[in-house]
Amino acid sequence: MPSPAPPNPHRAALAQYRRRASVYDVELALFEPVRRAAIARLALKPGDTVLDAGCGTGLSLAQLHAAVGPRGRIVGVEQSPEMLARARECVKQHRWRNVTLIQASAEDAVIEHEADAVLFHFTHDILREPMALANVMRALRPGASVVACGLQWASPWAWPLNLLVLGAALHSVSSLAGLDRPWSLLAGSLDDLQVESLMAGGVFLAHGTLRP
Ligand SMILES: C[S@@+](CC[C@H](N)C(=O)[O-])C[C@H]1O[C@@H](n2cnc3c(N)ncnc32)[C@H](O)[C@@H]1O
């Protein structure tokens, strides 16, 4: 008798985003200023190739497209079919020809373009999974711009804010582990790492360049 298939390690996350896909864009509206700040830190130039790791419904695509222009390229990686279907619809509506969307987990995605930059926007699960991070970082050229942002624990005295962080995290990540320094696994690969706190400390914005 064939042995049963091993359980998918992403099963919970896939179910979470299957449920959220139809309302996701509304839920994220509050964080638009963070997205703008994160994309600005990428310092993209016309013609650049940028990865959008865990691109979700494609909320970053328009701003990334405006920054790299029609000669640039955007590569989105996303494991949730329901989230990615919305990103595909967005690409179709805008008739963008320079956006490649890959449906795969970040650890398994085959990324064929060498990239000048990568955005991890509210992708805690990817940031805390070394194999996923390594696979995405392998697609970058030396000196590439790396930007990550998302939820973090604020100072312990800011416990009302931390209740909000907890509520949002339970809604969007597979594990609370690492929420004190979500960027820490990136730190060893980056030069000039800077970490900013936004939204009263409940959100981090980390950026640096890939060490050659
Ligand atoms: C909070 S959403 C952020 C989506 C998008 N980056 C944005 O800013 O709107 C997190 C996304 O990461 C995706 N994700 C989580 N773990 C992943 C993994 N291992 N590989 C690929 N995508 C993943 C989820 O399916 C979800 O779409």
Report pLDDT digits (tens) over 180-203. 999 999 999 999 999 999 999 999
Q: Nearest 5°: phi and psi at 193?
A: -65, 130
Rounded mean pLDDT of 162-173?
94
52 — pLDDT class (breaks 50, 70, 90):
very high
Report pLDDT digits (tens) over 117-137. 999 999 999 999 999 999 999
pLDDT at position 156 is 87
- Predicted TM-score of the model (pTM): 0.96
Q: Is 23 exposed, middle or buried (0-12, 13-18, 19+ CB in 10 A)?
A: exposed
pLDDT at position 5 is 67
CA–CA distances in Å: residue 178 to residues 47, 59, 63, 130, 207: 35, 25, 29, 12, 17
Lining residues, ligand 1, CB within 6 Å:
10, 13, 17, 28, 54-56, 59-60, 77-80, 83, 105-106, 121-123, 125-126, 129, 132, 172
Q: Is the dihedral of CA 81, 87, 93, 96 positive or negative?
A: negative
